[in-house]
C-alpha cells in the first residue's frame, strides 16, 4: 500500500517582524546595488573627464608655443614698419628700395595664432565639464574657449584689410621674382637697418615709381600697424595669459589625480 505524504502547510502567519526584516533586506540590497552602479558610473565619467583634460593639456602646450611665436613674428613686422617709416620721415626712402622690398615682404604676411579647439569641443560636447570637480578650472576652461571667437573676428579684420589695401600694392608695385625670394629668412634688422642675405638685383625699383604715392603707402601700412597693435593688446596677449594660467590649473588637476602625462 502506498503511503501518501501531504506537504506541510503552515497554518500560522509569520510574525510581523519577519516581514519588516525581509522588506529591509530587499531595500538594502536594492539601495546598495543602486549605490554601486552610481559609484561605477561616477568613476567611468570621471575617467573620461580626465582623458579629456589630458588632451586639453596637450593642446594648451601647443597653443602657448603658437602665441609666443606669433607675438615674436608680429613684433618683427612692427620693427619692419618702423625702419621704413623712419626712412620716409628722413626723406631717404626712395634711395632704400631694397629695404622697402624686404620690409614689405614681411609686413604683408598674415600672422595670427590659431587656437586648438578639438579637446575644448570634446569636453563641452561630451559633458565631461560636469565631472571636473574644480570650479575655478571649469570656469577658466569656459572662458578660454570663448576667446576663440574673438581671435577669429580679429583675423577677419586684419586679413580683410590686407586683401583690400596691401595685396593690390604688392601685386602691382613690386617685381615679383625678387619679392618672392626676399622673405624674412633672408634679411635681418640690425641697428634699425635692414640687412639682406641675398644679392639685390641691379636697378631694383618700385613699378611705375613716378606714380607711386609714398605718403598714402605709409598711411596704409600705419593703419595696418594700428589694427595689429589693437589685436595684440586686446586679444592675443590676454588669450595667451589665460592659456598659461589654464595650463597651470590643468597640470595641477592632473597631478592631483595621478594622471599627468608630459
Cβ atoms < 10 Å from Cβ of 143:
13
Query: What are the tens digits of pLDDT across the range 173-217?
Result: 999 889 888 877 789 999 989 998 889 988 899 999 999 999 999
Q: CA of 208: how far to CAs of 150, 153, 164, in Å? A: 40, 36, 20
Neighbour-count burial for 84-101, b at 16+ CB within 10 Å, e otherwise: bbebbeeeebeebbbbbb
- The pTM (predicted TM-score) of the whole model is 0.80
Q: Is 8 helix (H, G, I), strand (E, B) or coil?
A: coil
Q: CA of 83: how far to CAs of 39, 89, 99, 219, in Å? A: 65, 10, 8, 14
**Cell (9 digits) for 72:** 615674436
Query: What are the tens digits of pLDDT across the range 114-157?
Result: 999 999 988 888 888 887 878 899 999 999 999 999 999 999 99
176, exposed or middle or buried, with CB in 10 Å at 0-12, 13-18, 19+?
Answer: exposed
Q: Which residues contact 214 (CB under 8 A, 6 or more apart)?
A: 88, 93, 94
Quick one: CA torsion of 117, 250, 232, 169, rounded to 10 degrees? -30
Query: What are the tens digits of pLDDT across the range 35-73?
Result: 444 545 555 556 667 888 899 999 999 999 999 999 999
Query: What are the tens digits of pLDDT across the range 81-95?
Result: 999 999 999 999 999
Amino acid at each position: 500500500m502506498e503511503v501518501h505524504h501531504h506537504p506541510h502547510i503552515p497554518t500560522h502567519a509569520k510574525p510581523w517582524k519577519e516581514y519588516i526584516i525581509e522588506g529591509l533586506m530587499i531595500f538594502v540590497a536594492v539601495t546598495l546595488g543602486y549605490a554601486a552602479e552610481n559609484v561605477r558610473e561616477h568613476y567611468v565619467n570621471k575617467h573620461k573627464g580626465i582623458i579629456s583634460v589630458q588632451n586639453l593639456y596637450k593642446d594648451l602646450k601647443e597653443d602657448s608655443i603658437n602665441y609666443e611665436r606669433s607675438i615674436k613674428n608680429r613684433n618683427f613686422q612692427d620693427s619692419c614698419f618702423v625702419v621704413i617709416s623712419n626712412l620716409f620721415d628722413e626723406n631717404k626712402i626712395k634711395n632704400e628700395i631694397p629695404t622697402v622690398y624686404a620690409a614689405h615682404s614681411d609686413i604683408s604676411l598674415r600672422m595670427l595664432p590659431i587656437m586648438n579647439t578639438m579637446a575644448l569641443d570634446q569636453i563641452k560636447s561630451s559633458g565631461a565639464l560636469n565631472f571636473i570637480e574644480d570650479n575655478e578650472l571649469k570656469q577658466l576652461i569656459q572662458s578660454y574657449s570663448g576667446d576663440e571667437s574673438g581671435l577669429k573676428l580679429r583675423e577677419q579684420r586684419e586679413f580683410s584689410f590686407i586683401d583690400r589695401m596691401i595685396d593690390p600694392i604688392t601685386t602691382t608695385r613690386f617685381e615679383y621674382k625678387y619679392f618672392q625670394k626676399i622673405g624674412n629668412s633672408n634679411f635681418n634688422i640690425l641697428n634699425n637697418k635692414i640687412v639682406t642675405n641675398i644679392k639685390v638685383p641691379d636697378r631694383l625699383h618700385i613699378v611705375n615709381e613716378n606714380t607711386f604715392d609714398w605718403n598714402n603707402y605709409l598711411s596704409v601700412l600705419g593703419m595696418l600697424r594700428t589694427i595689429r597693435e589693437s589685436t595684440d593688446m586686446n586679444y592675443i596677449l590676454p588669450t595667451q595669459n589665460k592659456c598659461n594660467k589654464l595650463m597651470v590649473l590643468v597640470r595641477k588637476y592632473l597631478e592631483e589625480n595621478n594622471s599627468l602625462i608630459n
